Amino acid sequence: MHVCVTGASAGIGEGLARAFAARGASLSLLARRKERLEVLAAELGDATLALEADLVDPKRAEASVVAAEAALGPIDVLVNNAGVQIVAAAERTDPDAGEALLSLNVATPLRLIRHVLPGMLARKGGTIVNVASMAALSPVPGMLYYNASKGGLANASEALRGELAGTGVNVVTVYPGPVHTDMGARAIVRYEQTLAARLAPWGTVDELSKLVVAAVERGRARVIYPRSYAASLHFPNLSRWLSLKLAPALRD
Ligand SMILES: NC(=O)c1ccc[n+]([C@@H]2O[C@H](COP(=O)([O-])OP(=O)(O)OC[C@H]3O[C@@H](n4cnc5c(N)ncnc54)[C@H](OP(=O)(O)O)[C@@H]3O)[C@@H](O)[C@H]2O)c1
């Protein structure tokens, strides 16, 4: 089984790589920091390929995936995990950085899905994992482009699952709440004075990674983690109201 993980040099992507390796998968690991990928690949064994790739440009990202397939064969599980976050007041957000975020967080995952899908359909099997965010269900003030990216990716992912029903190809949408990673640590610095930050349950990379692997193996539709955030699926209006009320304006 060839599992391709984008953004595998740190955080959730690194955890997912470890969790899939523990299930005996061959892995292609993509990110910019090659040294980190190589250390991880050496630890995970011979069937792991480290590929230095800046995934912000969808066409270049697709070329990296072609290289991964040339080395390890067709991709059985594509994990669209690489992402960045910008936390700032909307009027202070750099639009160029925002558009690069949209490219990395949405356009590249869709390009990679478009690339692997014909092969998966022909083989009548495969899984696409899209790491969205709880921001897709309860958007957080102060993340103009990030909210758009995760809402867009989650919507595309959920609809694609329906579109592919009966084909043998599954789509798993992942909705992490705050998770202890570099990204999580940077976000909390901006939100730490807020009630939202004090009340929000946090999760770990290891636990999330195990849940994602189990969802892939069992053909599940989605992972919401920590589990307490699943309430927002049943009470979406309350969840959005809380998110809007408790988060800061970020204007000082
Ligand atoms: N942590 C959270 O609280 C949280 C919550 C909800 C959703 N998420 C989502 O989970 C995913 C992983 O987040 P994380 O917390 O693990 O973040 P992280 O620790 O900052 O790791 C991000 C990963 O993405 C890669 N990446 C960033 N820009 C890239 C680029 N231009 N090209 C290739 N790779 C790039 C990084 O690798 P290089 O820097 O080496 O390129 C790194 O491997 C993201 O999509 C994020 O939005 C995280």
Q: Which amino acid is it at 144? A: L
Is 2-246 assigned to CATH 3.40.630.30?
A: no
Q: What is the pTM of this model?
A: 0.96
In order along its 252 residues, the chain shows pLDDT tens digits of 999 999 999 999 999 999 999 999 999 999 999 999 999 999 998 889 999 999 999 999 999 999 999 999 999 999 999 999 999 999 999 999 999 999 999 999 999 999 999 999 999 999 999 999 999 999 989 999 999 999 999 999 999 999 999 999 999 999 999 999 999 988 887 777 677 677 788 999 999 999 999 999 999 999 999 999 999 888 888 888 888 887 766 665
Cα separation, 40 vs 14, in Å, equals: 8
106 phi, psi to nearest 5 deg? -125, -55
User: Which of 14, 32, 79 most suits a substitution to test ligand 1, by most atoms within 8 Å of the C-beta?
Assistant: 32
User: Which of 181, 188, 204 most suits a substitution to test ligand 1, by most atoms within 8 Å of the C-beta?
Assistant: 181
Atom of ligand 1 nearest to the CA of 13: 16
Q: H helices within 85-204, ranges in order? A: 95-102, 108-123, 144-163, 182-191, 195-199
First to last CA, the chain: 50
Q: Is residue 26 helix, strand or coil? A: strand
Round the CA-based radius of gyration of the chain to a whole number and report it. Answer: 18
Domain boundaries, the chain: 2-246
**Is 229 labeled as catalytic in the residue annotation?**
no
Asked if 12 and 205 count as a contact pair (C-beta separation under 8 A), the reply is yes
Q: Which of 46, 47, 38, 49 is nearest to 9 (CA)?
A: 38
Name the catalytic one among 146, 175, 191, 225: 146
